[in-house]
């Protein structure tokens, strides 16, 4: 009996030592993993700036890859050592103070393991690309084909990364972050913030080779939109470029005046009613095909008309405005344009476009003056010069700066992209780069102004948006929208003549009266109560899942006008929450915007997003500039 007791004691002692050793090893790997997680977190938080440093210092690439591999080893070891404890930790949510952490431990460890697997595989696929960017000479002519091939060859690693990311996402769904300790809850919140960017990166890398012509040449249209003559998607389509891309390289570029695209021998669709009424447009031609603010809808119309009128196939459409050009020139410029005496910079872009619109440089010496055919030559020549400089001189450091500028232009809707491919279209929509009207679960507003006056007056129009919504306990919302417009040109106009006339100069086109066809996009089911301040009776219809109110007005030089709109709709505030999405019209400068929300009577404590919302006595107010889409949330 005594021998049995001694043996049992020895067994317990050995087990205790084994458990202690296991716990000690577990703690060692946990400390190492914590260091690795902090280093990875720092790299992810650095974004494109960190990538720029990695391109300049290859040692950073190697160090990050090594950190991720060490982290992966530590997490795998932790899972092995903790396996006996993980089986029971799921049932320990009752433990005071740390019960939530214990219950979530298996899910947290799986989330960390799969995320590290995803990062390791992602780097396995991207390290050759980053090394190529670090080593190759400047210019997309060299970089484009090589990087496209590297991304294509890295697809097996990227597929593993996607699988790991999907498993990490599944593990995240099983974690109740509200029951976690503050430290762990913050770590999970940081993961949640990175998730959309990681998903976008994985999607982009999977689709990029095809979009760059790795599997066959692609043809893209570039729409030059002149926001001086504002239209729904950013401006009047002044010119159309066609790019042919093959294996990451632009192999052909053509640019033409939008008027010269039309083949009037072909049958064209009937123009939308406002274009027929205010611009006497009997048919819809390409230069007016961006009438719909939902850019994919307008882009599809552009593609159909271009293919019909020219016979060329089109795989996608990119729309750019003058602000987008300024952002590109800031990275690549100043731009020497062959045939022009002075370089084009961000500071003189608009002035140069006006100068050579009025007095174009002709194609050949001695050519007879043909102003109309050459008034847009600089825009075409500048586009070619920009692409040429990118092809021949763009460095890897400039590539990162260019990526940041493109991201800004896409976020602010100065660039919009449509691709005739369902997967690519879905990716662009998730990234909010497609210029689409976005379905909103709550309240929604988009103000769309279209210049229908045959002029370039929009730079001289100041505009503000004021939106007030009153919520009641029954879930009904009554909204008041006030739009103010002021024509900055204080020189009186003898008469507002509504006709297609070029006049003496571009400046003359900018100083005329403003004919605006105004559309207000609201949530489906909105009921118009009143409209004041416009010159035409409102037209109410449905489009792209929205209720649309259309009207028109004339604004003379030096004058101001206020358009006021009241509408109501059930908005479902019974759950104690209100959300609003305000979409920015492409081609516009940041417009002053004020949003006021009067909460239902008896509302308690208020939580808002963004933090800049001010709440006072049952009212929430946000004020700023509509530089990009804004979403607000109010909970009580």
In degrees, to the nearest 5, what angle opens at C-alpha 30 toward C-alphas 26 and 32?
120
Share of the chain above pLDDT 70, in %: 92
What's 453's DSSP letter? Answer: S
From the CB of residue 272, how many other CB atoms can be counted at a distance below 10 Å?
14
Distance, in Å, from the CA atom of 12 to the CA atom of 264, rounded to the nearest integer, reads 94
Q: What's the maximum distance between 2 C-alpha atoms anywhere in the chain? A: 120
Span 104-127, average pLDDT:
90
Residue with tokens 């009997």: 282
Highest mean pLDDT among 13-22, 206-215, 311-320: 311-320
Question: By the 8 A CB rule, do 167 and 383 touch?
Answer: no
Per-residue confidence (pLDDT) for residue 19, from 0 to 100: 54
Instruction: Reduce the DSSP state of residue 486 to 3 states and report it.
Output: strand
Q: How far is CA 88 from CA 92, 103, 168, 242, in A?
A: 7, 9, 22, 63
Q: How far is CA 440 from CA 507, 571, 582, 586, in A?
A: 41, 11, 10, 19
Distance, in Å, from the CA atom of 616 to the CA atom of 604, rounded to the nearest integer, reads 12
Span 374-390, average pLDDT:
90
288-297 residue pLDDT tens = 999 999 999 9
- Please, what are the domains in the chain? 2-209 (no CATH), 218-431 (3.40.630), 443-635 (2.60.40)
Distance, in Å, from the CA atom of 216 to the CA atom of 246, rounded to the nearest integer, reads 6
Per-residue confidence (pLDDT) for residue 17, from 0 to 100: 43
Distance, in Å, from the CA atom of 61 to the CA atom of 127, rounded to the nearest integer, reads 7
Q: What is the DSSP string of 64-114?
A: HHHHHHHHHHHHHHHHHHHHHHHHHHTT-TTSTTTHHHHHHHHHHHHHHHH
The separation between the first and the last C-alpha atoms of the chain, rounded to the nearest angstrom, is 69
214-237 residue pLDDT tens = 999 999 999 999 999 999 999 999
Question: By the 8 A CB rule, do 582 and 454 touch?
Answer: no
Span 414-437, average pLDDT:
95
What's 283's DSSP letter? Answer: B
Per-residue confidence (pLDDT) for residue 75, from 0 to 100: 85
Whose CA is closest to 272, among 284, 258, 264, 263? 284
How would you class 159 by CB atoms within 10 Å of its CB: exposed for 0-12, middle for 13-18, buried for 19 or more?
A: middle
**Long-range CB contacts for residues 358-365, cutoff 8 Å, separation at least 24:** 358/505, 358/506
How would you class 308 by CB atoms within 10 Å of its CB: exposed for 0-12, middle for 13-18, buried for 19 or more?
A: middle
What's 365's DSSP letter? Answer: T
User: Which pLDDT band, with edges at 50, 70 and 90, does 159 fall under?
Assistant: very high
Q: How far is CA 21 from CA 26, 29, 220, in A?
A: 8, 12, 63
Mean confidence (pLDDT) of the chain:
89
2-36 residue pLDDT tens = 554 444 444 434 444 445 666 787 788 778 878 87
**Which of 44-58, 232-246, 554-568 is predicted least confidently?**
44-58
Residue 146 token pair: 């090589």
Distance, in Å, from the CA atom of 71 to the CA atom of 64, rounded to the nearest integer, reads 10
Alpha helix stretches (DSSP H) within 252-395: 273-279, 295-310, 322-332, 349-358, 371-374, 377-393
Whose CA is closest to 573, among 456, 435, 478, 458? 478
User: Which pLDDT band, with edges at 50, 70 and 90, does 366 fall under?
Assistant: very low
Q: What is the DSSP string of 233-255?
A: TSSEEEEEEEEEEETTEEEEEEE
Distance, in Å, from the CA atom of 307 to the CA atom of 221, rounded to the nearest integer, reads 11
User: β-strand 461-471 against 316-320: which pairing, if any?
Assistant: unpaired
Span 115-137, average pLDDT:
84
Contacts of 75 (CB under 8 A, 6+ apart): 29, 33, 109, 112, 113, 116
User: Which pLDDT band, with edges at 50, 70 and 90, does 362 fall under?
Assistant: low
Contacts of 167 (CB under 8 A, 6+ apart): 110, 114
SS3 for 600-632, per residue? CCCCCCCEEECCCCEEECCEEEEEEEECCCEEE
- Look at residue 130 and tell me whether its pLDDT is greater than 60: yes
């Amino acid at each position: 009996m005594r021998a049995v007791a001694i043996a049992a004691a020895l067994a317990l002692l050995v087990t205790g030592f084994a458990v202690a050793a296991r716990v000690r090893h577990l703690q060692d790997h946990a400390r190492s993993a914590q260091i690795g997680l902090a280093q990875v977190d720092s790299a992810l938080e650095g974004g494109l700036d960190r990538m720029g440093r990695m391109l300049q210092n290859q040692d950073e690439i190697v160090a990050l890859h090594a950190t991720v591999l060490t982290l992966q080893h530590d997490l795998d070891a932790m899972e092995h050592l903790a396996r006996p404890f993980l089986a029971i930790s799921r049932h320990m949510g009752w433990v005071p103070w740390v019960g939530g952490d214990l219950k979530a431990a298996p899910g947290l460890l799986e989330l960390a393991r799969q995320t590290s697997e995803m990062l390791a595989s992602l780097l396995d696929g991207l390290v050759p690309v980053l090394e190529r960017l670090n080593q190759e000479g400047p210019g997309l002519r060299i970089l484009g084909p090589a990087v496209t091939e590297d991304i294509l060859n890295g697809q097996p690693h990227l597929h593993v990364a996607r699988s790991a990311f999907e498993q990490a996402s599944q593990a995240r769904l099983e974690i109740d972050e509200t029951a976690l300790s503050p430290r762990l809850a913050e770590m999970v919140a940081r993961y949640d913030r990175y998730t959309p960017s990681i998903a976008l990166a994985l999607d982009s890398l999977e689709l990029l080779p095809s979009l760059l012509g790795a599997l066959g040449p692609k043809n893209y249209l570039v729409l030059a939109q002149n926001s001086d003559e504002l239209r729904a998607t950013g401006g009047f389509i002044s010119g159309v470029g066609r790019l042919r891309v093959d294996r990451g390289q632009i192999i052909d570029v053509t640019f033409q005046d939008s008027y010269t695209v039309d083949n009037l021998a072909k049958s064209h669709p009937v123009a939308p009613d406002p274009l027929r009424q205010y611009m006497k447009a009997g048919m819809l031609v390409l230069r007016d095909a961006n009438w719909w603010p939902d850019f994919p809808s307008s882009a599809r119309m552009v593609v159909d008309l271009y293919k019909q009128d020219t016979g060329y196939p089109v795989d996608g459409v990119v729309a750019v405005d003058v602000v987008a050009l300024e952002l590109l020139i800031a990275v690549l410029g100043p731009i020497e344009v062959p045939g022009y005496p002075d370089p084009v910079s961000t500071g003189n872009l608009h002035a140069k476009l006006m100068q050579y619109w009025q007095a174009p440089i002709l194609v050949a010496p001695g050519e007879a003056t043909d102003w109309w055919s050459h008034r847009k030559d600089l825009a075409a020549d500048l586009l070619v010069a920009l692409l040429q400089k990118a092809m021949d001189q763009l460095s890897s450091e400039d590539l990162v700066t260019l990526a940041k500028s493109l991201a800004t232009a896409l976020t602010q809707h100065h660039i919009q992209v449509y691709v005739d491919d369902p997967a690519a279209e879905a990716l662009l929509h998730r990234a909010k780069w497609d210029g689409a009207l976005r379905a909103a679960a709550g309240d929604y507003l988009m103000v769309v102004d279209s210049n229908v006056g045959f002029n370039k007056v929009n730079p001289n129009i100041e505009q503000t948006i004021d939106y007030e919504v009153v919520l009641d306990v029954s879930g009904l919302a009554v909204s008041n929208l006030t739009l103010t417009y002021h024509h900055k040109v204080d020189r009186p106009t003898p008469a507002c003549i509504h006709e297609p006339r070029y006049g003496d100069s571009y400046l003359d086109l900018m100083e005329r009266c403003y004919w605006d066809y105004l559309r207000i996009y609201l949530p489906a089911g909105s009921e118009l109560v009143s409209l004041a301040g416009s010159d035409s009776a409102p037209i109410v219809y449905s489009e792209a899942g929205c209720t649309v109110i259309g009207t028109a007005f004339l604004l003379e030089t030096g004058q101001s006008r206020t358009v006021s709109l009241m509408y109501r709709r059930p908005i479902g505030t019974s759950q104690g929450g209100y959300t609003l999405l305000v979409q920015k019209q492409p081609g516009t400068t940041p417009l002053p915007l004020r949003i006021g929300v009067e909460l239902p009577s008896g509302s308690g404590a208020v939580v808002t997003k963004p933090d800049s919302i001010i709440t006072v006595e049952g009212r929430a107010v946000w004020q700023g500039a509509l530089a990009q889409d804004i979403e607000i949330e109010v909970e009580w």
